[in-house]
Amino acid sequence: MSLATKTETTTAEELAAVRQRVRDVLDEHVTPERLTRHDEEETYDLDLYRALAKAGLIQLEAELDGRRALHQSQTIVLEELGARATSIGVSIVVQYMGVELLHTFGNSMQRDRFLAPLFAGDARMSFALSEPDGGTDVARAMSTHAVAQEDGSYLISGRKKWIGGAMDADFLIVLARTTKIERSAIDGITMFIVPRDTPGIRTNPIDTMGIRALEQCDIEFENVRVPAELVLGRVDKGFRQVLGTLNGERLNGAAVAFGIARGALDYAVEYVKERQAFGRPVGAFQGLQHMLVDASVKIEGARLLLQNAARTSDEDEGASETLSAIAKLAASDAATTATDVGMRAMGGWGFLRQLPMQRYFRDARLYTFAPLTDEMIRNYIGEKHLGLPRSY
């Protein structure tokens, strides 16, 4: 066997083992009633999160030979979670982003202090970028600011919006303006690691229609003092640093969306085999079958695009960015289509809160606008993939 073939086989086996490990944890911990309860009560399933971390599913790279198959393994974990415990999947997208930012830009003190507890499941982080006046154009709109003090520390003041899990996160990665630069909105922003219990931070929950088992929060910062050693990466270059890691976030968002699509379609197919009308299963009606088939074609397309983008990202991150954007668009489309078809296929039963279809339907909306809206992803693909003039 050639070396290349042997490596491919090893990777395929390792990836299959990762998928099995997520499924084992889900089989042990997740029941439909438990998922419904967390969604209805808007509570985070901390025990499930910890079980996933204890199974090594946050610290994946250690066992996958450095970071050789990191993107492929992360997308597998997130696909499985998207299909079953979507809100936990969304929170793990954020943890993976924190891992990436700390791994890439953290110094050894920061990695020791913040990465180890994340890997162990003893801590969770939130990523605080969006603001009330800016999501897509957040850099230009950013009013949260950090002012350097004589002793080298910074005082952060301002507001952030939609920050997933911030109520009970252990620390936040916060972007704040440190310098006003006339010619560039994206320079002059710095990334800070802010322990959640630092005085001057207030969080308030936001009532959202989806991803209800992960609380979204408004955060207010009032003269929050952060020591110089908790600047993450370079002063004034924080936003550029984040842009450099967005490929992984796009891919990971695509993976959760793809998981939602798969989970919803699987559920709908089982349902239409059982539900009877006019003396036969409703799945025997051609109109219904065609809708389900069209959804499954979108899902298979998204699966291949996602796998291709994840594999290319592992081989050459720089070459994969448009592929990841395309995969994200395909996965978001598959998720909204499959959940819409699933609702139609179930008639009134799709509306029932005890059954999961309405939850998939609500949750699928997230990845039409996060981490970037589908419209901005189209702008990006138009410019970078088709070579057209920037459209905004």
- Shortest Cβ 40–ligand FAD spacing (Å): 17
Question: b/e for 329-345, b at 16 or more Cβ within 10 A?
Answer: bbbbbbbbbbbbbbbeb
- Please give the residue ranges that form the binding site for ligand FAD (CB under 6 A): 94, 126-130, 135-136, 162-164, 208, 211, 216, 366, 369-371, 373, 375-376, 379, 392
Query: For ligand FAD, which is the closer residue by CB, 203 or 379?
Result: 379
Q: What is the CB neighbour count within 10 angstroms for residue 37?
A: 13
Q: Are strands 201-206 and 216-226 parallel, antiparallel or unpaired?
A: antiparallel
Query: For ligand FAD, which is the closer residue by CB, 135 or 248?
Result: 135
- Shortest Cβ 145–ligand FAD spacing (Å): 16
- Shortest Cβ 169–ligand FAD spacing (Å): 10
Query: For ligand FAD, which is the closer residue by CB, 166 or 272?
Result: 166
What are the beta bridge partners of residue 232? 191
- Shortest Cβ 358–ligand FAD spacing (Å): 17
As a whole number of angstroms, the distance between CA 273 and CA 205 comes to 40
Query: For ligand FAD, which is the closer residue by CB, 342 or 371?
Result: 371
- Shortest Cβ 369–ligand FAD spacing (Å): 5
User: Phi and psi for 189 in degrees, rounded to 5?
Assistant: -115, 140
Q: Which residue is nearest to ligand FAD (CB)?
A: 135
Place of tokens 């197919």: 269
Query: For ligand FAD, which is the closer residue by CB, 210 or 263?
Result: 210
- Shortest Cβ 391–ligand FAD spacing (Å): 7
**E-only strand ranges, the chain:** 125-128, 145-148, 154-164, 171-177, 189-195, 201-206, 216-226, 231-232, 276-277, 280-281
Query: For ligand FAD, which is the closer residue by CB, 162 or 267?
Result: 162
